[in-house]
C-alpha cells in the first residue's frame, strides 16, 4: 500500500472524527439560532473546536494525497469511506440508530469505493 493511500485512510479517519466531535459539541450546547451570539457559542465550544482541528488535519492529509493520486480516485474514496465511518462512529459513540436501508446503502457505497479503488492499481 502506497504512502498516499495510507495518508488518505488517515484523512478519512480524521474527517470522521471531526464530524462526530462537532456533533458531540453541538449536542451539548443545544439547538442554536443563527445569530452573532450563537456563532460565538459555536466557535468557542470545545467539541466544535476539536472537530475543526481534526478537519484541518484531514485537509492536510487529503492535500498530500491529491498531490500523488488522481482526484477521480481520491475523492470517491475520501467521501465514500468518510460517509461509512461517520455512520459507524456516530452509532457507536453518539448512540444514533442505523436503519436497514442505511446498511444496504452502505454496502452499495462500499462496492462503489472498491470499484473506484481498482483504477488505482
State which residues of the chain have pLDDT below 70. Answer: 29-32, 120-121
C-beta neighbour count of 112 within 10 angstroms? 13
End-to-end CA distance of the chain: 10
Model pLDDT, residue 120: 64
**Structure pTM?**
0.82
Model pLDDT, residue 72: 86
Model pLDDT, residue 116: 81
Amino acid at each position: 500500500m502506497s504512502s498516499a493511500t495510507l495518508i488518505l485512510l488517515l484523512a478519512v479517519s480524521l474527517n470522521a472524527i471531526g464530524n462526530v466531535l462537532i456533533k458531540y459539541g453541538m449536542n451539548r450546547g443545544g439547538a442554536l439560532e443563527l445569530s452573532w451570539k450563537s456563532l460565538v457559542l459555536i466557535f468557542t465550544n470545545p467539541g466544535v473546536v476539536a472537530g475543526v482541528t481534526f478537519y484541518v488535519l484531514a485537509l492536510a492529509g487529503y492535500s498530500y494525497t491529491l498531490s500523488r493520486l488522481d482526484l477521480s480516485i481520491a475523492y470517491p474514496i475520501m467521501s465514500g469511506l468518510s460517509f461509512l465511518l461517520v455512520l459507524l462512529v456516530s452509532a457507536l459513540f453518539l448512540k444514533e440508530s442505523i436503519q436497514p436501508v442505511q446498511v444496504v446503502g452502505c454496502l452499495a457505497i462500499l462496492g462503489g469505493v472498491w470499484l473506484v479503488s481498482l483504477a488505482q492499481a
